Amino acid sequence: MWALKKIGIRIFQFFFFKGAYILPWKKPELIEGDGCFTRLPEFVKRKGFGNVMIITDKGLMKIGLLKPLFKALNESKVTYTLCDNVEANPKIDNIEEAVALYRDYGCQALIAVGGGSPMDTAKAVGARIARPKKSIEQMGGTLKVLWKIPTLFAVPTTAGTGSETTIAAVVTDRKTHHKYSINDLFLIPPYAVMDPLLHVGLPPFITATTGMDALTHAVEAYITVDRPKYCRIACEEAVVAIFKYIEKAYKKGADVNARRELLYASYKAGLAFTRCGVTYVHPIAHTIGGLYSVPHGLANAVILPYCLDYYGPKIHPRLARLADLTGISKKGQSDGEKAKAFIAEIRRMNKAMKLQDKFDCIKDEDIDQMVEWALQEAHPMYQVPVLLNGDQLREIISQIRA
């Protein structure tokens, strides 16, 4: 039965992803340069918006990161409504609260400031505004929005999710702890603010986990079955930059050049995985995030090397290419040796940045649910290099348990 199911999944993927070449994939228009964040209100005004909703989190409000934005909005005579209730792993009830505020105050556009959580929240709010008769749950999956959402200006303050360029909004049901994605081309933000100065001073732990999140996006997209040339190039450039700059930014948070390189690496990785998809790292990470509130970047960082090991020789040639590009490989090594060296370097980086290598939160009674959710997310949409069944996912989960 599993053999027949695998054939069916591959046939579906072949036609779906070949057909995806004709879809209108778009890249956001970039607002670039050190300090460009403060120029955003005037840009918003020129685009014809005089009343916007700002979606962010209380952490960024506490450190005053948005004060220059508020000042510039007032100077540009742009009215704003603030929604700063975003939590890590965005919750559906918080999204609905923001939707009500947007409607009550007659907002015309969205500005998301923060990491993946504020941007994903803004996307989900936009989807609900665009499709008022559909619930968040009903839009979970692929191409279930299919309507233009309010204009979204994405301002990433971490270099990790790449959400400023992706089709995805990942949300969590607070009652069931189920974490899932809404995936639709209409969720790609039309504008992204790329200001490395917003990243200066980012805490080392956040730098590490978000950077490894971006690395996971790039590596997973790179080993998918079908990848257009521009995605392959974007993945390679992202991996090289992250290997070179992540520990520099981790050790010296004020290194603007390192911050800039990681910001664009995250963008490129997002550009690639939104087109090519990911593999089993993300579905497993989503279950851990939903059930135990583990930060998504940390979950990806821990799980990535285990999955790469598990996929085996099927992905060795591609990992060998990445090992060559990053300078990890040695002359005369086989593809398998290069691939293992690449995976070992990921583990070394995790350890150097004081990230754990296993989870002690996973409960026996949750494993069946984790496997079920991971399979629902991955099949049939993810172009994984090796199709795994439930027993194989259980084996990976057992490996990442402390």
Instruction: Dump pLDDT digits (tens) for 336-392.
Output: 999 999 999 999 999 999 999 999 999 999 999 999 999 999 999 999 999 999 999
Calculate mean pLDDT across residues 171-185.
Answer: 91
Lowest mean pLDDT among 89-93, 186-190, 196-200, 271-275: 89-93
Beta strand 179-183 with 168-172 is: antiparallel
For 286-306, what is each residue's pLDDT tens digit? 999 999 999 999 999 999 999
CB atoms within 10 A of CB 167: 24
Average confidence (pLDDT) over 147-155:
97
pLDDT for 271 = 96
User: β-pairing, 168-172 with 109-114?
Assistant: unpaired
Split at pLDDT 50, 70, 90, the class of 154 is very high
The per-residue pLDDT for 68 is 95
Structural tokens at position 258 = 């390192």
- In the chain, what are the helix, strand and coil shares in percent, each to the nearest 5? 60, 10, 30
**Residue 16 and residue 264: Cα distance in Å, rounded?**
29
Residue intervals in the chain for CATH 3.40.50.1970: 26-199
Question: What pLDDT sits at residue 397?
Answer: 98
Give the pLDDT mean for 66-95: 95
Q: Which residues in the chain are classed under CATH 1.20.1090.10?
A: 203-400
Distance from C-alpha of 33 to C-alpha of 78, rounded to nearest angstrom: 22
CATH of 26-199 among 3.40.50.1970, 3.50.50.60, 3.40.50.300, 3.40.50.2300: 3.40.50.1970
Contact between 123 and 149 (Cβ < 8 Å): yes
Q: What pLDDT band is residue 266 in, cutting at 50, 70 and 90?
A: very high
Q: How many residues does the chain have?
A: 402
* CA distances (Å), origin 260, targets 142, 166, 200, 208: 32, 19, 10, 15
88 pLDDT higher than 90: no
pLDDT of residue 180: 83
pLDDT digits (tens, 9 = 90+) for 31-61: 999 999 999 999 999 999 999 999 999 999 9
Domain 203-400 has CATH 3.40.605.10: no
**CA geometry: angle 378, 55, 292, nearest 5 deg:** 45
pLDDT reported for residue 231: 96
Angstrom distances, CA of residue 315 to CA of 6, 15, 121, 136, 238: 18, 22, 34, 36, 18
Do 249 and 299 touch, CB atoms closer than 8 A?
A: no
List pLDDT tens digits, range 319-333.
999 999 999 999 999
